[in-house]
Amino acid sequence: MLFAGSVINYLDRAVLGVVMPQIRRDLRLTNQEYGWAVDAFLMAYAVSYIVGGRLADRFGCRRLVTWTVAFWSLAGVAHGLVRSLGGLALVRGMLGWGEAGFYPAAMRGVSGWFPPKDRAKAVGLFLSALSVGTLLSAPTVAWITGRWGWRASFMVTGACGLALIPPWLRLHRRIGRIYGTTDPSPALKHGEEQVTAVALAAVLRTRKFVCTLGARTCSDTAWYFYLFWMPGYFQEVRGMRLVAVGQLLWIPYFAAGFGALAGAWLASALIHRGYSVDRGRKTVMVPAALLAAMGAGVYFAPGQTLAMGIMAAALCGHQAWSSNIHTAISEISPPAHVAVLYGITGAAGTLMGALTQLAIGPVVDRLGYQSVFVGAGLAYVLAVFLVFAAGKIEPIGRK
C-alpha cells in the first residue's frame, strides 16, 4: 500500500514536468516564472516534511497517510482549474503540502514493521514507486493531454489518490490484529541495540546527523532538477515531440525503479552475509553515487539515444543511492524521533531544491542547460564525501 501511495504521489507531481511546454504557452510563462511555480511546490513541501514528521511520531502512520493522500489528491484535481501564474503557484503549494507528509509517515511504519537487515528492502520498494509514478506519468499524461488537453490530465491523475484511502484503512485493521496496534513503535522489538534516550535538539547538533542530512540534500537537489526539467529539456533542446516523450521517457524512470530495488536488495544481501550495516550500505552507496554523477554527460551526448541512455544510468544510480541513504537516516535516528528526523532531512533537500529552482530558470533562459547538468553531477560527489564525514551508520545516543 505504501508502494501504491508513492506511485500516485509521484504521478501527481510529475504531470507538470510533462506538460510544461503546453502550460507555459497557455499561461504565457517564461522559464523563470515556471521556476517560481515549481518553487511554490518545493517550499510548501519542505515545511510540510517537518510538520508531517512531527505529526507522524504523534498520531502514527495510519492517520497521516490517510490525511495526506486526501489533501494532495484534491489539490491535484484543482490544477485543472488554474488560469494564471498565481493560481498555478497556489495549487502547487497545496500539492506540496499534502505530498510531503506521506514519506515521514511511511518511514515511521517501515521502521516499526521491519528489522534493520531487511528494512532497506521495504524502503527500496516504496522508493522504487517514485520511479514507477514518474515512469507512468509520461505516457499517461501525453495520452490524456493529446485527447482532452493538459487540464484533464491533472484532474484524472489527481482523482486516483482518493481510491487508495478505503483499502488503506482496511489494511490497518489487519495490522492491528497482528501487532496489537495500528502504529507499532519503531524497532526495539526487532532486537536492535538499545540506546539511551536522547533529546531531539541534541541529535540535530551531532556531526553524524548534520553530515547525513547534507548528503541527502545534495542528491535531492539533483533529483528535483531531473524531475521538473528533464521532460522539457528533451522537448525544447533535443527536439522530441510530446508523443515521443510519452513513448521514450519511461526508459530512464524504469531504470530508476530498478536501481531502487537493486540497491536495497544488494545492501541487504551484504548485511545478511555478515557485513556490518555501515559497511553494507556504503559498499553500495559509493558506486551508486558515482553512477548518478554521470548525469552531467546528458548535455554533452551527441544524440538523443545516447543522452537518454546516460540519463537512465544516472537515475538508476540515484535511486540505488536513495534506497540506502533514506534507510540510513532511520538507522541513525533514536526510535522516538524516526519520523521527524527523516522529515527534517527531506525538508532540507526540498528547501535546497527550491532555492536552486530560483537560479535554474534564469540560468536556462540566459545560458542554457550546460552548467545545470554539470552542477547536478557534482552534487553526488559531494554527497559521498559527506557520508564518510558522518562516520559509522549506527544509532545516535548519549555517550
DSSP letters for 184-197: PPSSGGGTPPP---
- Which three cell numbers mark 294? 554521470
The letter for the amino acid at 237 is V
The dihedral sign for the CA sequence 387, 389, 392, 396? negative
Per-residue pLDDT at 194: 47
Secondary structure E strands in 203-309: none
pLDDT score for 388: 94
- pLDDT for 184 equals 60
The residue whose grid cell reads 508513492 is: 6
Q: What is the DSSP string of 294-357?
A: GGGGGTT-SSHHHHHHHHHHHHHHHHHHHHHHHHHHHHHS-GGGHHHHHHHHHHHHHHHHHHHH
Cα–Cα distance between 306 and 297 in angstroms, integer? 10
N-term to C-term CA, the chain? 39
Q: Which three cell numbers stand for residue 170?
A: 482496511
What pLDDT is recorded for position 399?
53
Q: What is the CA radius of gyration of the chain?
A: 20
Which DSSP letter does residue 369 get?
S
Which pLDDT does position 186 carry in this prediction? 54
d(CA 389, CA 212): 9
Distance CA 52, CA 58 (A): 10
Cell of 192: 536492535
Helix 150-160 to helix 116-148 angle, to the nearest 10 degrees?
Answer: 150
| Angle, helices 102-113/61-78, rounded to nearest 10 degrees | 150
CA–CA dist 303, 219 (Å, integer):
26
User: What residue ranges define each of the domains in the chain, with the CATH number in brackets?
Assistant: 2-174+198-389 (1.20.1250.20)
Per-residue pLDDT of the chain (399 residues; tens, 9 = 90+): 888 988 888 888 888 877 878 888 888 888 778 878 887 888 888 888 888 888 887 787 788 888 899 999 999 899 888 888 888 889 999 998 888 888 888 888 887 778 777 777 887 787 778 777 777 877 888 888 888 888 888 888 888 888 888 998 888 777 767 766 666 655 444 444 444 567 888 888 899 999 999 999 999 999 888 877 887 788 878 877 767 766 777 788 888 888 888 998 899 889 888 889 899 999 999 999 999 999 999 889 888 889 889 999 999 999 999 989 988 988 888 877 888 888 899 888 888 887 887 788 788 888 888 889 999 999 999 999 999 999 998 888 755
CA–CA–CA angle 207, 295, 371 (5° rounding)? 85
